[in-house]
Structures are given as C-alpha cells and as structure tokens.
Amino acid sequence: MKKVAVAFHTAALVLALLGVAGCGTSHPTSLSNHTSSANSSTPTAFPVTLKDDAGHTVTVAKRPERIASTTEGTDEILSGLVPKKNIVLVTTYSNDPSYSNITSFVKGIPTIQGADAEQIIAAHPDLVLMASYTNQNVVSQIEQAHIPAYEFNNFNSIGDIERNIEVVGTLVGNESGADKMVRDMETQIQAIQNKVKGQKKVRVLNYSSYGYVAGSSTTVNDVIVDAGGVNAAANLKGWQKVSDEEVVKLSPDVIIVASDDHGFIQRILANPALKTVPAVKNHRVYSINSAHLTSVSQYVVLGVQDVAKALYPNVDFAP
C-alpha cells in the first residue's frame, strides 16, 4: 500500500466499521459512545485530552479552527468532518487522483510534502494531525511552539480506520459526525455483503509490480474479505515480497492490481512463470482504482465495492 508509505496511507506499499453480520469481518472500535452533534445546541466540551498512538498526551484547549493535516488519510477524514475554511494544510497527495478521493475539495488549500516544522508552524494551526513515523525533531518543534500534535500509528485494518475517524471527530469537536461517518460505512459494507451472500468464494491476491502481496493485518485484507473473497495471502502477515513460484503456490482465482501500477497487468498475463495460475489462465486479473483500494479513510468502502464488482461481475450492485 502505497498510501501508508505516502501519508496516513502512507505503510502499504500499502488506504471502520462494523460488527457486520454474516459473511463479513468484524471491525470493532474503541471509541463508540459519542453523543454530541455538529448541529447540537450542546457543544462538545473542551478542552479535550487524549493519548496519541505515540504515547504522548495531547490536549486541545478549544474547538480547532486552523487544522494542519500531514497525512493523506487525515486529509480525507477531515474533509467529511470540518468546514474547508478550518483546514490550513493538506498533503500534496490530496491533489493527486491516483491517491486521493478529495481532489475537488482540497483546491485552494495550501499543501505540504512531508512534515516540515517551519511550514506547519507558519500556517498558525491550532491542531496538527501527523503519523507516528514523522521525524521526532519535527514533532518536538511543533510541541515547543505550543501547538497540539496528534500522531496516528494504526492503519492496518478497516477497524483501525474506524477508530481513527472517531479520534479525529473527538479532536475537532464533531464526534457525532464521526459516528455518522462510521455508521454510513457500516451500512454500505453490509449492503455489499448482502449482495454477494451465497456467491461462490474466490481466492484473491492483491499483487504489486514491486513483488509485494497484501497478507493479513492490512486494510486490503479486510477489503477482500468484506467484498466476499478469500485472501489467498492470508497466511502471510502484512506486506510481504514473494517470488513467481510463491504466487503459483498461492493459486489465486483473481489477482487485483492498483490502477496506478501502470502496465503490470500486461506483465502478469505475459509472464510464462505464472501461466498455470488460475487468475492468469482465466484472464481474471483486474485493475482496481488505487485511490479506493489503498484508502485509509472512509473512502475504503469504495475499494470494497470495486473489488466486489470485480469478483462477482454477474451481481447487480445497484442500490
């Protein structure tokens, strides 16, 4: 997943939810009892104090009005939780449709590539959202400027995405909006699962031109399972590099490739070492919108839908 290498996406060479019933996975969240509403006459109580994923205690004194996002995942989450005028920085990836689902929304918002303390502080934010792999010197400079900075570390499942949405909702004072975002995700995924219920399970492999496949403990694993498939690489943990011989042994019925991995499908189909793989023999190698497939925000639901449509082309997914 490239988005975790790229932003709060940025681990995946690699982009929730539920206690979905039936054939889906369960995506528990640790923050679920929020009652405030964006339009409520009873505003969220500030200050808010949370411990972030790096173990730091973060206190937000009042509802943020100038938020800097240094991960693409939080760019997308913020787009659904706060007014555009309250976002003072987003990542450069948010402008790239290969990675971003909010290119129209972010037009006009200043961008940042990487976490640059000077640029962040110059934007005069009252909240900074970062990833825990951010250079700690940068984090220290921001904290020394008395700006609250929350570091995220967990984006390996749809459940992690759900939790991160809830955390952002708490930090920005829109817990009810975050709850609704998660409920909408749950509803959409449940609808997809209902559509594919009873379909023959297929073995699915997410494969990249770098030789990596998505194993367990990845958002793509959850995407595959929630789309009604079986992850052919589920016995591998995380993102693992594999050989052609190992792909043959995994024997996927379907191979999915991120759409920004240009030309890789043709290389797979032309590779004589893979000619016995069921997905290759049957020409079931599909390009999936990379902004959807690698999403670590609410837009991961679009990845579930895209994959379900590829796995089960005869199913009508219309509402």
Nearest C-alpha neighbor of 129 from the set 84, 169, 98, 158: 169
Residue 42: alpha-carbon gap to chain centroid: 31
pLDDT at position 154, please?
Answer: 87
Between residues 46 and 154, which one has the greater pLDDT?
46
Mean pLDDT, the chain, rounded, equals 89
Provide mean pLDDT across the span 148-169.
Answer: 96
CA distances from 289 to 60, 126, 166, 308 (A): 36, 34, 26, 13
Is the CB of residue 67 less than 8 Å from the CB of residue 87? yes
pLDDT digits (tens, 9 = 90+) for 289-319: 999 999 999 999 999 999 999 999 999 999 8
pLDDT digits (tens, 9 = 90+) for 49-68: 999 999 999 999 999 999 99
Res 14 pLDDT > 80: no
Res 42 pLDDT > 50: no
Cα angle 237-78-261, degrees, rounded to a multiple of 5 = 45
At position 67, the amino acid (one-letter code) is I
2-299-257-19 Cα dihedral, nearest 10 degrees: 100
At position 154, the amino acid (one-letter code) is N
Residue with tokens 């790096």: 54
Nearest C-alpha neighbor of 294 from the set 103, 76, 27, 12: 12
Nearest C-alpha neighbor of 25 from the set 206, 155, 134, 186: 186
Burial class (CB in 10 A: 0-12, 13-18, 19+), 45: exposed
Question: What are the structural domains, with CATH classification, of the chain?
Answer: 199-311 (3.40.50.1980)
CA distances from 21 to 24, 26, 190, 311 (A): 6, 8, 8, 20
Residue with tokens 């969240």: 29
Cα angle 300-302-306, degrees, rounded to a multiple of 5 = 120
Determine phi and psi for 67, rounding to 5 degrees. Answer: -105, 130
Res 19 pLDDT > 80: no
pLDDT digits (tens, 9 = 90+) for 83-123: 999 999 999 999 999 999 999 999 999 999 988 999 999 99
pLDDT digits (tens, 9 = 90+) for 250-290: 999 999 999 999 999 999 999 999 999 999 999 999 999 99
Q: Tell me if residue 270 falls in helix, strand or coil.
A: helix
Strand order in the sheet with 87-91: 111-112, 87-91, 67-69, 127-131, 149-152
CA–CA separation, 49 and 51 (whole Å) = 7
Res 41 pLDDT > 70: no
Determine phi and psi for 295, rounding to 5 degrees. Answer: -65, 140
Res 198 pLDDT > 80: yes
